[in-house]
Amino acid sequence: MPGGFVRRLAQARFALLAAAIVFALLVQFAGLAAMPALIGLAAIALAVLVREAALPGADGTSLYGDSAVPAVADRAVEAVISGLPDPAIALTADSLVVAFNASVQQITPGILRGEPISFALRAPDVLEAVRAVAASRQARRIEFFQRVPTDRWWEANIAPLALAGETPNRDRNLVLVTLRDLTPLRRIEEMRADFVANASHELRTPLASLSGFIETLQGPARNDVTSRDRFLAIMKEQATRMARLIDDLLSLSRIEQKAHIHPDHPVDLAAIVREVADGLSPLAHEREVEIRIADQASSLIVSGDRDELIRVFENLIENALKYGAPGKLVELALTREPAIGDAREAIVSVRDYGPGIAPEHLPRLTERFYRVDIGESRAQGGTGLGLALVKHSLNRHRGRLTIESTPGAGANFIVRLPLAKAASG
């Protein structure tokens, strides 16, 4: 076909031009005779043109059959695939790539039309399933895991595609592979399982201790009045710990249920912080810590849920008193600052001068049940849920928490909340 030859020549023009320049330079400067140079150039030209002709789809004919299947079918397949939201690849029955959409390139950047899919996708299960679907014409669904470039779980749906009006013919059958990223779902499942395991473990420990003491009181210590009083005091402490844990778990689940409802009551942060500080003064007294309030804003009105915000500052100030006690001072600072655009933010910082927190723990502190030192947290009556509650509450209030700490010099927990419109001017 002369038209096809001319097009192939045009497609290969850069390769041929480069070869011609190289041979001309060799003749000119390396003493190569003209005849061998011409023969060499002709051989390269022939190889390039034969390769271009052999590449499926390169000259506009169909990849999956003879020229009787119009190229328009390829374009239709391509158009449909490019419109699919999930990564999708159309393959021939021999697993050659016919078409794919842009999202596929993010997973397998090396994918090329006309090449076997195995060159780009290193997932033996998918390749095997494609072969099976091509042979049986029965759809399949499989899940697979990819380590590169990052750990991801995928679901692959592999289905036979028959062009309308075509009688089934192995050469013309296509296989459609669509992929769905299961990673976020898997992560949530893992988190949920971890959470249930952690919560059960946290409840089981005080429960085991309670059962142990009940048995002792029913048996060996039945008539031992001194032991009984001591054991009852420990049992009360364990029961309180369980109650606190259940309280925190319920609060967390309540906040999560309302995660997308933004509270809209005007509340004064400055008043809340002062009230919480007053309420915690017995604990401060017990720990011999002074709570100092540097109040540069007499009122800071935000749209919020009063009870939740009280819990936020109770958690932060109580932590500062519990973990920062050796520093003897907890400073609360209230300010207002410009944020993005004309909105303004209320900033409350809770700073202690205790041992501080090593940098590797900082990003994980707001995870549920994450504690730097479990023993110390338990000794302080901690549940490991306080900062998780703070983070979730602040998210619901469109606020955020930042934690700064220099080990040995204390920690600073900074809360930012958008000021209510009327108050921000």
Check if the beta carbon of residue 292 is closer than 8 Å to that of residue 332. Answer: yes
- The CA-atom distances, in angstroms, between 210 and each of 216, 233, 339, 375 are 10, 11, 51, 19
AA identity, residue 201: H
Q: Which is nearer to ligand ADP, 78 or 404 (CB)?
A: 404
Q: Which is nearer to ligand ADP, 129 or 312 (CB)?
A: 312
In contact, 183 and 152? CB cutoff 8 Å: yes
Nearest approach, Cβ of 289 to ligand ADP (angstroms)? 11
Provide, rounded to whole angstroms, the least separation between the CB of residue 149 and ligand ADP: 33
List the structure tokens of 270.
């400055």
Spatial contact of 356 and 411, defined as CB atoms under 8 Å apart: yes
Residue nearer to ligand ADP on the CB measure, 228 or 378:
378
Strand, coil or helix: 281: helix
* Residue 131 or 361 with smaller CB distance to ligand ADP: 361
Instruction: Choose between 304 and 324: whose C-beta lies nearer to ligand ADP.
Output: 324
130 to each of 121, 152, 180, 285, how far by Cα in Å? 12, 20, 16, 71
User: Which one, 100 or 323, has the nearer CB to ligand ADP?
Assistant: 323
- Written as one letter, the residue type at 76 is A
CB of 286 to ligand ADP, least distance (A): 16
- Give burial (CB, 10 Å; 0-12/13-18/19+) of 85: exposed
Closest approach, Cβ 313 to ligand ADP, in A, equals 12
Query: Whole-number minimum distance, CB 407 to ligand ADP, in Å?
Result: 10
The CA distances from residue 290 to 121, 277, 281, 285, in Å, are 63, 10, 8, 8
- Token digits of residue 113: 């039309």
Instruction: Please state, in angstroms and rounded to a whole number, the distance separating the CA atoms of residues 11 and 19.
Output: 14
CB of 402 to ligand ADP, least distance (A): 13
CB of 416: closest distance to ligand ADP in angstroms? 18
- Closest by CA position to 72, among listed 158, 163, 192, 188: 163
Name which of 270 and 320 has its Cβ closer to ligand ADP.
320
Helix, strand, coil percentages (3-state) for the chain, rounded to 5, are 50, 20, 30
Strands 344-352 and 410-418: what pairing? antiparallel
Residues making contact with ligand ADP (CB under 6 A): 315, 319-320, 323-324, 352, 354, 357, 365, 371-373, 377, 382-388, 411
Task: Please state the closest distance from residue 332 (CB atom) to ligand ADP, in A.
Answer: 13
Phi, psi of 341 (to 5 degrees): 65, -140
The Cβ of residue 37 has, within 10 Å, a number of other Cβ atoms equal to 19
The Cα diameter of the chain in Å comes to: 117
For ligand ADP, give the closer residue by CB, 74 or 352: 352
Min CB(288)–ligand ADP separation in Å? 16
Coil/strand/helix, residue 227: helix
> Which residue lies nearer to ligand ADP by CB, 22 or 403?
403
Q: What is the residue whose two structure tokens read 């995928």? A: 154
Q: Shortest Cβ distance from residue 395 to ligand ADP (Å)? A: 15
If the CB atoms of residues 59 and 248 are measured against ligand ADP, the closer one turns out to be: 248
